[in-house]
Amino acid sequence: MTVPNNMPCKDNGIIGSAVSSAHPSLALIKYWGKQDGTRNIPATPSLAVTLDGLTTKTRVDINRPVDGRKEPDRVFLEGILQKEDRFAPFFAGFRKLTDTMKPGMGRFIVTAHSSSDFPTAAGLASSASGFAALSCACAAAAGLELSAEELSAMARIGSASASRSIYGGFTRLDAGSHIAEPLYGENWWPDFRIIVLELEKGPKNLSSRQAMERTRLNSPYYQAWIDDSELLMDRSLDALRGRDLDALGPLIRNSYLRMFATMFAADPPIIYWKPISLAIIQLCDTMRSEGFSVWETMDAGPQVKLFCLKNDVKAIRNRLIGELNDLNIRICRPGGPSSVQNRNET
């Protein structure tokens, strides 16, 4: 990863700097659709696990404007400057918070450098880990002492799934809610494993935000998806509470397939799947018929992720390698919360 860890020397222009990291939040039960697009409030409840094997690291520098000049905040992902409008609501929320908590801080400019050890914008929840890490780093660089709930609300303005990535382990984000909640910590289900199959590295053509909005506006199945979501969530919470993968798995499958059914029915349709995605879905079905409790899910991209238990990982992995070529396989456990590694406040 290419984010510098050393803190700058203090000088007059620097208000503070911080480096933080966060893991993606992979949904077992999916958020898809917004009740309120301006405030990024979800229309469906989601249940997710934070992944330990994938990490985004972000460094934030907060400076006073040079000679009082008006300059934009800047975010670099893997060294590439990002469009301002994607980050503007997040930074507006951050400024509102600093104005309230540190009224004397005055005007400032944020520069962020972010890097992930996995492909971004490819259906691996990089915006979840990205905005979670950015929230932690911004708060630390500004010297704001925020609770996890406050960080979760801040991250949500950037990306709803990022509100979950603030916490480790298993989390929920309810429909209509502006804060995610931690359910169980990362050590609560020691045998739970997530196999992440990285099938394509390139960014997707249609962002999840655009895809969600198209689905909401013109998929005839959208309302059915929303109506079904609460029951699916309640049943999943029961299965998770019992650490019962055989009960949880079919609900995981219902959630992602119903989410995609709404997308397929949009006009024009949204199809993130690739032939290899379907091949893996079918291989999981075969493995289940042979007695493995292995359950796939997909997000806004062609990647497939599998949930299983520790004792089955080796056999499932061998099977995947044996049947499909060139797979990039990562075995993950439930990961820890987002954290600050380094901070320097003047």
The correct pick among 17, 20, 21, 46 for binding ligand 2P0 (CB under 6 A) is 46
In angstroms, the CA 29 to CA 48 distance is 7
Nearer to ligand 2P0, 62 or 160 (CB): 160
The dihedral built from the CA positions of residue 147, 53, 117 and 4, taken in this order, carries a sign that is positive
Q: Is 163 in the site for ligand 2P0 (CB under 6 A)?
A: no
Nearer to ligand 2P0, 62 or 248 (CB): 248
Task: Match 């409008």 to its residue by tokens.
Answer: 85
The correct pick among 154, 160, 270, 287 for binding ligand 2P0 (CB under 6 A) is 160
C-beta of residue 44 within 8 angstroms of C-beta of residue 31: yes
Nearer to ligand 2P0, 128 or 316 (CB): 128
Q: Which residue from 23, 172, 151, 22 is spatially nearest to 93, judged by alpha carbons? A: 151
Q: Is 127 in the site for ligand 2P0 (CB under 6 A)?
A: yes
Strand-pair category, 41-42 with 34-36: antiparallel
Tell me how far, at minimum, the Cβ of 177 lies from ligand 2P0, in Å.
13
Task: Match 């991250």 to its residue by tokens.
Answer: 155
Query: Of 57-65, 157-165, 184-192, 245-253, which segment contacts ligand 2P0 by CB under 6 A?
Result: 157-165
Query: Of 2-10, 97-105, 141-149, 158-166, which segment contacts ligand 2P0 by CB under 6 A?
Result: 158-166
DSSP secondary structure, 224-287, as one string: HHHHHHHHHHHHHHHHHHTT-HHHHHHHHHHHHHHHHHHHHTSSS------HHHHHHHHHHHHH
Nearer to ligand 2P0, 48 or 97 (CB): 48
The correct pick among 50, 152, 159, 177 for binding ligand 2P0 (CB under 6 A) is 159
Nearer to ligand 2P0, 125 or 280 (CB): 125
Size of the residue set binding ligand 2P0 (CB under 6 A): 16
- What letters, b where the CB count within 10 A reaches 16 and e where it falls short, cover 183-213? bbebeebeebbbbbbbbbeeebebebbebbe
Binding mask 216-245 for ligand 2P0 (x = CB under 6 A): ------------------------------
The correct pick among 55, 165, 171, 208 for binding ligand 2P0 (CB under 6 A) is 208
Residues 283-322, interacting with ligand 2P0 (CB under 6 A): 299-300
Strand partners, 184: 170
Q: Is 50 in the site for ligand 2P0 (CB under 6 A)?
A: no
Strand-pair category, 339-345 with 304-309: unpaired
In angstroms, the CA 48 to CA 158 distance is 18
In angstroms, the CA 179 to CA 172 distance is 9
Query: Of 88-96, 159-167, 233-241, 317-325, which segment contacts ligand 2P0 by CB under 6 A?
Result: 159-167
Q: Is 198 in the site for ligand 2P0 (CB under 6 A)?
A: no
Q: Is 161 in the site for ligand 2P0 (CB under 6 A)?
A: yes
Element (H, E) at 19: strand 14-22
Nearer to ligand 2P0, 159 or 236 (CB): 159
Q: Is 209 in the site for ligand 2P0 (CB under 6 A)?
A: yes
Residues 13-32, interacting with ligand 2P0 (CB under 6 A): 27, 30-32
Q: Is 134 in the site for ligand 2P0 (CB under 6 A)?
A: no
In angstroms, the CA 199 to CA 279 distance is 12
Q: Is 40 in the site for ligand 2P0 (CB under 6 A)?
A: yes
Q: Which residue from 235, 273, 272 is spatially nearest to 255, judged by alpha carbons? A: 235
Task: Match 């492909």 to its residue by tokens.
Answer: 119
Tell me how far, at minimum, the Cβ of 256 lies from ligand 2P0, in Å.
8
Which residues contact ligand 2P0 (rule: CB under 6 A)? 27, 30-32, 40, 46, 125, 127-128, 159-161, 208-209, 299-300
